[in-house]
Amino acid sequence: MKAKASIILLIILINLGAYGQSYIYKLHGIDDFINKYISEYSQEDVVYYDSVISILPTDSLEYMLSDISSKISIWNITAEATGQMFITKETYDFNALLAMLSFNELMNRDIRSKKVYYCGADLKFGLRYYKNAIKDYTLALNSKSSFHIKDYLIIGDRGESKFETEDYYGAIADLTIAIDSIVQIGNKTLKIESQSHLISFLISRGKSYLYLNKFNEALSDFSNSLNLNPKYRLSYYYRGITYLSMKKIELGCNDLSKAGELGYERAYDLIKEYCNPK
């Protein structure tokens, strides 16, 4: 009986291995993530969930991709603003796996809409696959299908991805289009969602200017973001770094202190290093 069970188990493992090999060939820009997931967890899980996802209807896959990509974006924004993640790494990785496999299956079904490309790009941005995110944001912009996200917001998201790849001039070009569009459309009564995008784009463009040593432009963007939200801790943090880079130590340390007051604990590391007498 034990010998028979062992033979059955061996056949199952062989089939899983064969399926895994064929599975690798149909990936759409998510190879690195899948290989990393397999190395940290298991190939059997990837194969199993892929087999489940492969039989789901298209609208369910689109919903899963959209829902999880939004959640990952929120989790990342929260982590950056607070310095800590409020879910476990395992939960984060598992959700990302489901979304990545959903994206892969949609590509295999030739569902290449603006929405699918955009959500796929958001997901890859959240997982730090920035070059793939840029590619998918561009495909979303080139798609003729309808989607509720405005093109200038997609351009802004692509600009933030370019910043992460150290393409600072490219980032500034994209982010400027997005910023100017929001300001022009919003006039003086920006909706809360548009204001949130505007703050994020201003900070990303400010950081791009900062890395290019264009300190005055960086200061302008960080200060403008604070005009929109005077309690935004990241704006104080990066403006503080800019002042320090300009050798304006007191102004920089005051901003870092304000970022710390608002709960951005990383500011204290810089305060300790640059704001105390040696």
Residue 253: name the closest of 236, 233, 231, 228 by CA.
Answer: 236
Q: Provide the whole-model pTM.
A: 0.86
Q: Are 122 and 140 in contact (CB under 8 A)?
A: no
- Looking at the predicted structure, is the pLDDT value of residue 82 above 80? no
Are 163 and 249 in a shared domain?
Answer: no
Are 114 and 3 in a shared domain?
Answer: yes
Q: What is the pLDDT of residues 15-49, one digit of tens each?
A: 444 444 445 446 777 888 888 999 999 889 999 99
CA distance linking residue 111 with residue 117, whole number of Å:
9
Are 67 and 123 in a shared domain?
Answer: yes
Q: pLDDT at position 74, please?
A: 87
Show which of 130, 149, 168 is a domain's final residue.
149
Given pLDDT bands bounded at 50, 70 and 90, which one contains residue 278?
low
Are 96 and 192 in a shared domain?
Answer: no
Are 116 and 241 in a shared domain?
Answer: no
Q: What is the pLDDT of residues 188-225, one digit of tens each?
A: 556 766 888 999 999 999 999 999 999 999 999 999 99
224 domain-assigned? no
Q: Are 143 and 120 in contact (CB under 8 A)?
A: no
3 domain-assigned? yes
Given pLDDT bands bounded at 50, 70 and 90, which one contains residue 241?
very high
CA distance linking residue 224 with residue 199, whole number of Å:
8
Are 32 and 50 in a shared domain?
Answer: yes
For residue 33, give its domain range: 1-149
157 domain-assigned? yes
Show which of 100, 122, 149 is a domain's final residue.
149
**Percent residues over pLDDT 90 in the chain:** 72
Q: What is the pLDDT of residues 153-176, one digit of tens each?
A: 999 999 999 999 999 999 999 999
- Rounded to 5 degrees, what angle do the CA atoms 99, 158, 262 make? 85
Are 31 and 120 in a shared domain?
Answer: yes
Are 262 and 138 in a shared domain?
Answer: no
Show which of 161, 180, 215 is a domain's final residue.
215
Q: pLDDT at position 68, please?
A: 95
| Number of domains present in the structure of the chain | 3
221 domain-assigned? no
Given pLDDT bands bounded at 50, 70 and 90, which one contains residue 58?
very high
Q: 198-215 burial string, b = 16+ CB within 10 Å, else e?
A: bbbbbbbbbbbbbeeebe
- In this prediction, residues 43-66 reach a mean pLDDT of 93
* Average pLDDT score, the chain: 88
